[in-house]
């Protein structure tokens, strides 16, 4: 699918469909909608007067133009109340329109820049949101269906702008939107891929192909190198699997000073989580091909960072392994030693994400990365707390929490901070080692964050628990069935923000 910007008049545009919009409560449409309505001899105004169209958010009305316009169809999209309209609604609307028109077998359509007219939103931000929403909304993972269930695809979408002076700005904004959407889609592809295909080896190969495509630094530490580096915690998890583990490292150098301190992005790369010897019940296991979503999001974000070129250095670390109950597997009560020398009593082999992150975070400290942001499908408890509406932020650094929250808001990916009060530290206290890898029933997500905190030496660090938002079972706005690609766009936005406004 291709998105282009065209200077011109939407009311004379020729495509399979032309999309205009209406706020709730408007009785006489203006702008592009008004121009089309005039050409249609007041059809839209008539539908408004009769109450057939009300401009409600989510309302989509398809009209046939009966030869009165070059386009055979007009879609009127309701925007809801004008005071409530936001960039995120532009994104959601664009996704819903794209899927609606695909369902109607509309292969090419033109749209006005929703939000940029009377809504008064920034025109470039609107164009970017339309590009993101359209791309993400049309995403499907149909690699394993030939032909796919529903093979029809939208080929081209044109954003038509009558102010020629805005053309270059809108064009650049669309390119940005496409880069961000493509990164999120790459992340979705990785997470949707079943674990028999996406082994740690294949995961690393796809990361490498991406890194080579965009000119990023890339290397993989094999099991032996990880052992030499002292990654006993990561290798402890890998022991139960026949698949060799891979520790993936990707570097981006964008700062004027190539030696300048790099931001660290760390992602959980469990390509399948059976739970290990503390095995999961069957139903809970089905979703666990997505347990590398944190790592996948970070790898994908690096691709977008390489294309957008913020003036900052970034290093991504993704420990990748399966969590399997093989005959050599980790056993409850085993004690592991992490790269930073700390010992861990493994009381539950299903709390494996924090074990592999312990070594990745230790390595991030050794590389002097700062700030460090880790992303992981770490705990089922996070979706008990937040459902699938937001991911959790855990960090003792309030400034970093705020920056992540804001980057998430700009991306339309909601997040919410959790407390890191010292009261919770005892949750991971062990009688026999420096810590244990799982607490009691309460505050499971916070206990996991406190475990990770043991490996970051009080550096500026935040942990994002995405276990509630990695997979969805229904289409909703930019979200499609399966992997969400959250928080790729948040991470890219955060890195861009840190490039211009370093953490204080």
The single residue of 354, 403, 436, 489 carrying the catalytic annotation is 354
Are 201 and 243 contacting, i.e. CB atoms less than 8 angstroms apart?
yes
Mark 236-275 with x for binding to Mn ion (rule: CB under 5 A) and - for no binding: -------------------------------------x--
Among 87, 125, 178, 351, binds ligand BES (CB under 6 A): 351
**Cβ atoms within 10 Å, residue 118:** 15
Q: Given the residues 223, 280, 414, 425, select the one marked as catalytic.
A: 280
- Of 352, 374, 413, 496, which one interacts with ligand BES (CB under 6 A)? 352
Strand 313-323 relative to strand 246-253: parallel, antiparallel, unpaired? antiparallel
In angstroms, the CA 272 to CA 346 distance is 19
Region binding ligand BES by CB under 6 A among candidate stretches 26-34, 125-133, 236-244, 374-382? 374-382
Look up residue 479 and give its DSSP letter.
B
Tokens of 283: 């139903």
d(CA 372, CA 321): 21
The partner in contact with residue 379, picked from ligand BES, Zn ion, Mn ion, none with C-beta cut-offs of 5 to 8 angstroms by kind, is ligand BES
Which helix (H) or strand (E) is 317 found in, with range?
Answer: strand 313-323
CB of 432 to ligand BES, least distance (A): 18
| Residues between 109 and 138 that touch ligand BES (CB under 6 A) | none
Binding residues (CB under 5 A) for Zn ion: these are: 270, 273, 291, 353
Asked if 369 and 263 touch (Cβ cutoff 8 Å), the reply is yes
Pick 169 or 284: Cβ nearer Zn ion: 284
Write down the least CB distance from residue 158 to ligand BES, Å: 39
Q: At residue 279, what are phi and psi to the nearest 5 degrees?
A: -65, 145
Q: Which is nearer to ligand BES, 413 or 496 (CB)?
A: 413
The closest alpha carbon to 491, from 344, 380, 393, 424, belongs to 393
Binder of residue 16, out of ligand BES, Mn ion, Zn ion, none (CB less than 5 to 8 A by kind): none
220 phi/psi in degrees, rounded to 5: -125, 130
Which residue has its beta carbon closest to ligand BES? 380
The 8 Å CB, 24+ separation contacts for 277-286 are 277/240, 277/325, 277/329, 277/330, 277/331, 277/332, 277/349, 278/332, 278/348, 278/349, 278/350, 279/325, 279/350, 280/350, 284/380
Residue 18 to residue 502: CA distance in whole angstroms: 43
Q: Minimal distance in Å, beta carbon 304 to Mn ion?
A: 28
Is residue 438 close enough to count as binding ligand BES by CB under 6 A? yes
Alpha-carbon separation of residue 268 from 189, 273, 354, 385, 467 (angstroms): 16, 11, 8, 21, 11
198 or 369: CB nearest Mn ion: 198
Enter the tokens of residue 258.
């190539």
Q: Which is nearer to ligand BES, 125 or 292 (CB)?
A: 292
Our finding on whether 380 is near ligand BES (CB under 6 A) is: yes
- Residue 282, exposed/middle/buried by CB under 10 A (0-12, 13-18, 19+)? exposed
With contacts defined by CB under 6 A, name the span among 113-121, 300-308, 379-387, 451-459 that binds ligand BES: 379-387
When asked if residue 236 is in the footprint of ligand BES (CB under 6 A), the reply is no
Q: Is 353 in the site for ligand BES (CB under 6 A)?
A: yes
Least separation, in Å, of the C-beta of 397 and Mn ion?
27
The contact mask relative to ligand BES for 456-485 (x = CB under 6 A, - = no) is: -----------x------------------
Does residue number 345 form part of the binding site for ligand BES (CB under 6 A)?
Answer: no
The question of whether 354 is a catalytic residue gets the answer yes
Q: Is 273 a binder of ligand BES (CB under 6 A)? A: yes
Only one of the segments 154-162, 228-236, 252-260, 346-354 lies at the binding site for ligand BES (rule: CB under 6 A); that segment is: 346-354
Is residue 348 a contact point for ligand BES (CB under 6 A)?
yes
Task: Assess contact for 181 and 136: CB atoms under 8 A.
Answer: yes
Which residues lie across from 476 on neighbouring strands?
479
Instruction: Kindly tell me which of 94 and 379 has the beta carbon lying closer to Zn ion.
Output: 379
Residue 309 carries which DSSP code? Answer: -
**Per DSSP, what are the bridge partners of residue 19?**
75, 111
Q: If binding is defined by CB under 6 A, does position 267 make contact with ligand BES? A: no
Q: Which of 287, 334, 409, 475 binds ligand BES (CB under 6 A)?
A: 287
Residue 379 binds ligand BES, judged by CB under 6 A? yes
Let me know: does 193 contact 39? Beta carbons within 8 Å: no
Which residue of 189, 193, 202, 350 would you call a contact of ligand BES, by CB under 6 A? 350
Contact between residue 156 and residue 145 where contact means Cβ atoms under 8 Å apart: no
> Which of Mn ion, Zn ion, ligand BES, none binds 348 (CB below 5-8 Å, type-dependent)?
ligand BES
Q: Give me the active site residues, please.
A: 280, 354
Judged by the rule CB under 5 A, the positions of this chain that interact with Mn ion are 273, 350, 352
Judged by the rule CB under 6 A, the positions of this chain that interact with ligand BES are 273, 287, 291, 348, 350-353, 377-381, 438, 444, 467
């Amino acid at each position: 699918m291709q998105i282009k910007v065209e200077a011109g008049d939407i009311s004379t545009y020729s495509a399979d469909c032309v999309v205009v919009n209406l706020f709730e409560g408007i009785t006489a449409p203006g702008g592009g909608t008004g121009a089309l309505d005039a050409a249609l001899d007041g059809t839209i105004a008539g539908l408004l007067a009769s109450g057939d169209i009300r401009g409600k958010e989510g309302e989509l009305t398809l009209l046939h133009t009966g030869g009165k316009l070059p386009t055979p169809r007009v879609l009127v999209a309701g925007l809801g109340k004008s005071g409530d309209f936001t960039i995120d609604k532009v994104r959601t609307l664009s996704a819903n329109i794209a899927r609606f028109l695909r369902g109607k077998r509309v292969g090419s359509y033109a749209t006005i820049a929703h939000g940029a007219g009377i809504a008064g939103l920034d025109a470039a931000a609107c164009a970017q949101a339309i590009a993101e929403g359209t791309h993400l909304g049309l995403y499907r993972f149909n690699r394993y269906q030939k032909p796919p269930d529903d093979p029809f695809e939208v080929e081209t979408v044109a954003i038509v702008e009558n102010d020629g002076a805005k053309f270059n700005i809108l064009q650049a904004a669309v390119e940005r939107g496409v880069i961000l959407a493509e990164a999120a889609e790459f992340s979705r592809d990785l997470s949707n891929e079943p674990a028999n295909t996406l082994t740690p080896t294949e995961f690393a190969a796809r990361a490498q192909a991406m890194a080579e495509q965009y000119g990023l630094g890339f290397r993989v530490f094999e099991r032996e190198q990880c052992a030499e580096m002292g990654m006993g915690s990561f290798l402890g998890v890998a022991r139960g699997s026949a698949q060799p583990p891979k520790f993936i490292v990707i570097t981006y150098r964008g700062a004027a000073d190539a030696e300048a301190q790099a931001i660290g992005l760390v992602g959980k790369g469990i390509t399948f989580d059976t739970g290990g010897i503390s095995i999961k019940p069957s139903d809970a296991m089905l979703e666990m091909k997505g347990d590398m979503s944190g790592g996948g999001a970070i790898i994908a974000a690096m691709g977008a960072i390489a294309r957008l070129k913020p003036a900052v250095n970034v290093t991504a670390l993704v420990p990748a392994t399966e969590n399997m109950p093989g005959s050599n597997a980790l056993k409850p009560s085993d004690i592991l030693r992490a790269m930073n020398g700390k010992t861990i009593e493994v009381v539950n082999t299903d709390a494996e994400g924090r074990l592999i992150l312990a070594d990745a975070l230790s390595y991030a400290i050794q590389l002097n990365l700062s700030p460090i942001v880790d992303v992981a499908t770490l705990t089922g408890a996070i979706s008990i707390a937040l459902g699938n509406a937001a991911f959790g932020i855990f960090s003792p650094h309030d400034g970093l929490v705020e920056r992540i929250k804001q980057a998430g808001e700009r991306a339309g990916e909601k997040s919410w901070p959790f407390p890191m009060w010292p009261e919770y530290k005892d949750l991971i206290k062990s009688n026999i080692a420096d810590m244990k890898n799982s607490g009691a029933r309460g505050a499971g997500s916070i206990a996991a964050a406190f475990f990770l905190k043991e490996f970051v030496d009080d550096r500026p660090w935040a942990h994002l628990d995405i276990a509630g938002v990695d997979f969805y079972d229904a289409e909703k706005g930019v979200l499609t069935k399966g992997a969400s690609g959250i928080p790729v766009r948040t991470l890219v936005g955060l890195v861009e923000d840190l490039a211009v406004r370093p953490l204080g």
